[in-house]
Every structure is written in structure tokens, then in C-alpha cells.
Amino acid sequence: MTRPVRLAISTCPNDTFAFHGLLTGAVDRRGLRFEIELLDIEQLNAGLLRGAFDICKASFAAALTVAHDVVVLPSGSALGFGVGPLLLAAVPGTAPSRPEQLTLCPGRHTTATLLFGLFHPHSTRVEQVVFSAIMPRLQARQADFGVCIHEGRFTWRQQGLTLVEDLGTRWETATGCPLPLGGIVARRGLPAETIATVQAVIHDSLRLALADRAAVLPTMRAHAQEHDDAVLFQHVDLYVNQWTLDLGPVGRRALDELSARAATVGVGSGGRLDVFST
């Protein structure tokens, strides 16, 4: 490509960890020029849907809505066991059950919102807000429930909130698959050689970060909502795993399962997410 590759990722620690080498120039960019943006996940999803990026991190639920236009890269995904969003309550002993109740979700096209719709359909009103606003609004009793993602998974107890359900655990019980939250997708219109090169750079960046975790801390701190180093590495340990390096057959099966279940609630066209083959 003669123009820069428009790349967008999230500000969450697992992405800034994985992309540290690319963000800082510590890995060989293999002749590519990048224009990189760091955004909230719902901003990423919106950008994906309007075609704003060549390569981006996106919720798999959002990618399903444009599955015919994108391909998932083998590296860079967030999926696993024990990684799901948490359904939290402002008041102990309550659960979503009445239409006058309000649940906050972190964006219409997030996989977290899809899971709430799968497991608690039509149980409450739903309002979409930026993920960082969910726990403060629950603390202020401005909503009854919230679907919590990112660092909040580790800090909700300190906020005085109550766990209703781990939506990831429910997914695992129902499917036997790791939960696919989000991944790196590329526009199918990009040259295959460019996509393969970007995939190689991301793989290199991940390996660099895994080899020297301490060197990545300044990059994670610069963008995180939570600045406690232990919490940042909890986040990395949860979301960066063998399937982040390569989805493999287990990751591909999980994407197929998500595609099928999403179609039952009208998310996506019923098509499957294809993984790029290098």
C-alpha cells in the first residue's frame, strides 16, 4: 500500500500491552506505515461499521454485522475461559426481572450487550453508556444493573456493588467454548499481502510484550482507566493467552458458536466470521 494503514485499537490494558511494540516502534513494521488511533470499544465498533479503519479491534458482535466485509486476524483477539463481562447490581439480592428496571450496557454492538440479550432477553430497559460510566452510575443508584467490562471486573467489590451473574461463566456452561469477546479485523478490500504483513507485525508485537512484561507498563499506564499496576497485569493475565497469539481451532469453533447464537437474537446476518489464512 502506498498510503498508511489506518489502525485503531482500544485503550484497555490487553490491547496496549499487545500493541506496545507497534505503538513505540520497538518492532519492525515490515515496510508499512501506520496511522494509529486509541479509542473506546464502542467508538471502535462505530468506526468499523462506517468503514473508518483498515484494521481495527472490534467486538465480535459488531464484526458479525459486517462479516461479509471483514476478516478476523489470527492474532490479537480477546477470548478465553473466565473472561466474561459481569452483571452487577446496585442493590444486593436483586436480579433483572421487570421492565421498569434499568440495565446499563457498554455499547449496542459490544459482545457484552449481546450476552445480556442472549441470557436476559426483554428483562429490563437497556441504556448504552461508555463502559467507564457504568459503575459510578450504579453507585449513585442511577440504574439497577450494569454489565461491567475491562478493569471493573477486578474492582467492583471495592465499589460496593453486588454480583448478579458472570455472563462469561454462563456462556461457557451453555457452549463449552471459551468466550470470544473481540478481535482484530481487517477489511477484505485490503491486499492479502498487506493483511498478512499486519498480522506478522501484531504477532511480533505480542511476542515482544510477553518476553518483557515490565517494559510495557508505561504504555499501559498512559491509557488505562485504572492505574494500579497489579490490576493492569490482572487484566493482561486474563485476556492475553494462547488464543491471543493464535486463535487456532478452538478459537474458530468459539466464533462459529457466537455467530450461530447471535443469529437467534437478530445480531448479524447469520453469516460466520472468517479467520484470515496466512
Separation between Cα atoms, residue 67 and residue 46, nearest integer Å: 15
Kindly give the residue spans of alpha helices, DSSP state H, lying in 212-228.
217-223
Catalytic residue among 120, 150, 203, 235: 150
Location of C-alpha cell 496466512: 278
Separation between Cα atoms, residue 205 and residue 7, nearest integer Å: 14
Separation between Cα atoms, residue 89 and residue 99, nearest integer Å: 15
Please say if 68 is a catalytic residue. Answer: no
Separation between Cα atoms, residue 194 and residue 87, nearest integer Å: 39
Separation between Cα atoms, residue 106 and residue 25, nearest integer Å: 31
User: In Å, what is the CA distance from 155 to each residue of 16, 76, 105, 113, 167?
Assistant: 20, 25, 17, 20, 17
CB-CB contact of 136 with 155 (8 Å): no
Q: In this structure, is the dihedral angle defined by the CA atoms of residues 220, 210, 19 and 150, taken in order, positive or negative?
A: negative
**Chain length of the chain:** 278
Location of C-alpha cell 458458536: 257
Q: And the C-alpha cell for 184?
A: 482484530
- Phi first, then psi: what are they for 56, rounded to 5°? -155, 155
Q: And the C-alpha cell for 187?
A: 477489511
Active site residues: 150
